[in-house]
Chains A and B, each alone.
Chain A
């Protein structure tokens, strides 16, 4: 019974979240670096892809670190 109760959390939700946002962040940051500056006219001249891409990347990395720490603790 005890074993079954822990089944739901065997997949740490932070893992898929972390991977997805690292991926999203990386793609958008790189796109921000190489995209035509003209598209940032709408975002008031700010290269929002570059900056927000980095934020998303950092958030994803933070989630992965948390998941990794939890996994280490469980072992």
Chain B
């Protein structure tokens, strides 16, 4: 690897950042007196802050490194993860779902499931979610440590300990507010840290037109990441090559992508994942909660320029000579090194410190987001509900502190487990497929169909999760061996082989969602309603009075903002068609 040499100025900047992160925790300590302060920021944060935290919490390992890697591997098609795989879902959760999350006064997503359905649905979701967040947080930590070891020669174990301790301290002291404030800080750091990188990178390849020309030679070369010559625009046109899976580097056709990623995975994540929904729940009013994901959508839409473009530039530079990106232990090109290689190539000492700091910030925010979501779900949905109900608020606040420590320790354990897997993105998609994909069907039916029952929701979720597992166990991507990649149910004699694992993930999600949707409807119709209309007021669409957005200026109204966001996303898709 191109070793990166940090100068003393770079270390100085890094330490200043650490000091501020910890300082925010200490400054917020005296405002964190009740469990509501600790877990929900006392529902007191303005929309622009929760909005930036909303995307920043998601800006963990998969974003900076994974998206850079995908940018190199798949080119501009990676922006589908944003323009198709995030924006529509973010608009949907803000405009249509937030009224029920925020209005029901639920303190967490599993708690909403309890208000809407029953205890067992909540318990199922809470346990799955807790496991998933600990894993995500561990993966984030592992990736950070491995990266720093690789590019800077830092000690792996030391990196894990330092990042864990810093995140622990600031969450322990300031709870969710501390996490949100740091996420906003990290957001600006990432934007300001990566802008010069993109500027210099683009300039070096002769601007966008120069990049397109270079990437056309990548696309038509037989030695490109796809391993076969494709049409010239395959790396720079996001839709034009999606008619068949074999015509584009990602190996997915438009239907699998739009349904699997754009509908199931994306809505499953942005609309039901407590990690992001928690940020909106901390907002200071219903209107602010609804605006949270919409405000987040604007920067989110432009993020491909910051995180995918460097990867695309990296593969263009790699094409000349084939030495820009290093090889991994198995001798394959290591795409995860795309962003670090760009940092090493273009940023001089000084800004390099900012770039490395931004990288660390992104990992820490991803980790902190998971830890705050985990401690809330544990304390409210598992501990208070099943282990020790009816204690004082101070008791639960103390539990919050304890479980934050436990959560971090579990994350560390998961970080070491995660060393066994090498592709973060696939790993996360796998977990999301199992846990999140069926969930959106449950919420859709729960919020908009009042006949859905507790039994229906529970068995729907269960069968949806099983369907994802079954699909994974019966299929394999081409050229993979049985195991984590799939096929474990049939001894490798799989029913179907996908061209790439991405396609397998998308289809697993589609099957999981459909199974959950159908089973929930069938079981609901066969079982009696378990909640009265009165209990469902504010929880289900048809029993909730419409929100009147009076006295709010037009540009702050969720519906108006939502339309603006969608139109802007469509324009971006057309420009880069």
Contacts and interface: CB of A to CB of B under 8 A. Distances in A.
Say which size band chain A's interface belongs to.
20 to 34
A44 B23 CA distance: 37
Contacts of B349: 31, 35, 39
B200 A52 contact: no
Contacts of B196: 43, 48, 52
Given A27-B9, A49-B351, A5 B43 contact: yes
A7 B45 CA distance: 10
Nearest to A6: B44
Contacts of A7: 31, 33, 37, 42, 44
Contact of B42 (A4, A16, A21, A53): A4
Given A20-B185, A28-B354, A55-B192, A11 B12 contact: no
Interface string A2-31: 001111111101001101110110011001
Contact of A5 (B9, B42, B200): B42
Contacts of B347: 42-43, 48
Residues of A contacting B: mostly: helix
B13 A27 contact: yes
A13 B48 CA distance: 11
Interface residues of B, number: 42
Contacts of A23: 16
A11 B348 contact: no
A56 interface: yes
B16 A11 contact: no
Contact of A11 (B28, B42, B345): B28
A55 B354 CA distance: 13
19 contacts: A5-B44, A7-B44, A11-B181, A13-B181, A13-B184, A13-B185, A17-B185, A17-B188, A21-B188, A27-B12, A28-B351, A42-B345, A42-B346, A42-B347, A44-B204, A44-B346, A46-B200, A49-B350, A59-B192
* The 8 residue pairs across chains A and B that have the minimum distance between CB atoms: A8-B44, A49-B350, A39-B348, A8-B42, A7-B31, A8-B41, A20-B20, A13-B181
Interface of B: 9, 12-13, 16-17, 20, 23-24, 27-28, 31, 33-34, 37, 41-46, 49, 177, 181, 184-185, 188, 192, 195-196, 200, 203-204, 282, 284, 345-351, 354
